Amino acid sequence: MGTAVADGLVGAIGNTPLIRLKRASAATGCEILAKAEFCSPGGSVKDRAALAIIQDAEARGLLSPGGTIVEGTAGNTGIGLTLVANARGYKSIIVMPETQSREKIDFLRMIGADLRLVPAKPFKDPGNYVHVSRALAEEQGALWANQFDNLANREGHRRTTGPEIWAQTGGKIDAFTCACGTGGTLAGVSFALKEHNPHIKIVLADPEGSGLYGWVKHNDLTVTGSSITEGIGQSRVPGNLDGAPIDDAVKIPDPEALEQIFDLMIHEGLSIGGSAGINVAAAIRVARDLGPGHTVVTMLCDSGARYQSKLFNPDFLKSKNLPVPSWM
């Protein structure tokens, strides 16, 4: 975090702080460290993927001044893409399931995205937001960002996030865990860390309602249950996750994630979203599994402000039989 001046928005993406989580560390006897991706200009880890995808398209000559980028997203990638597009002189069309949080929908409109909301459909349905975005890109002759299968996503994390974690821990890291939507973060970081030390344990964190835990454990993508988290979990293996060196997986139910979200907010002043709650809960499980004296790193993907209407809404939480923050 030097004193250098960042060159515009793009120069301010990445190089986020690594924060020691005091209570999680004390509870496990390990160092539990989390990358504060909410410090990125667009407020999430997806700024990195957005920048990597756009830079890759520019390098390949697929984007020219005044061009258009189309993407299907649960929100954060759309925000990152729109902001980077604004800074680079492109237009963006964002296709999103209408079930996503009101905060993300409003934010995308505020920053100038051409937002198209579609009904939430499974991936096998042609009406799924990913397929709708691909068709729209073809129709418009625009760039389809394709964050799930575009390997520029994981390559961006291999070049930036992984080396930052290695440098910030001084190479003292025993395990890395995070949840997957596209798989870009987990795959990119795992490739980078294992280049330095193949013994670093890579653990995929998965919510209920996703098939990735079963895929890692038994090569079985069967989906059971559901989760209120957004932007993570999959019923298929995205291109970015394919071939990544993953050692294990943990499945985290929503109440366990919410406990960490509320605990970090009220005791450590850290406001985090649902996927970050899954990640912290997973880091605690991995640390307990390794035993005291180890260092586990995870990601705080975005802040709680994007999920106020869900994670911090007592009526919503009660309707799902989930714990409510004690102070609300």
Catalytic positions are: 46
φ, ψ for residue 292, nearest 5 deg: -55, 155
Estimate to the nearest angstrom the gap between the alpha carbon of 323 and the chain centroid. Answer: 23
Tell me the helix, strand and coil percentages in the chain, rounded to 5: 45, 15, 40
Q: How far apart are the first and last CA of the chain?
A: 35
Q: In whole angstroms, give the CA distance from residue 215 to residue 222.
A: 8
Tokens for 50, please give them: 């957005």
Residue 83's SS3 state is helix
φ, ψ for residue 80, nearest 5 deg: -60, -45
Q: What is the DSSP string of 248-304?
A: EEEEE-HHHHHHHHHHHHHHH-----HHHHHHHHHHHHHHHHH-TT-EEEEEE-B-G
183: left (phi over 0), alpha (psi -120 to 50) or beta: left
- According to DSSP, the residues that pair with 19 across neighbouring strands are 34
Q: In whole angstroms, give the CA distance from residue 123 to residue 46.
A: 21
Nearest to 54 by CA among 141, 145, 159, 189: 145
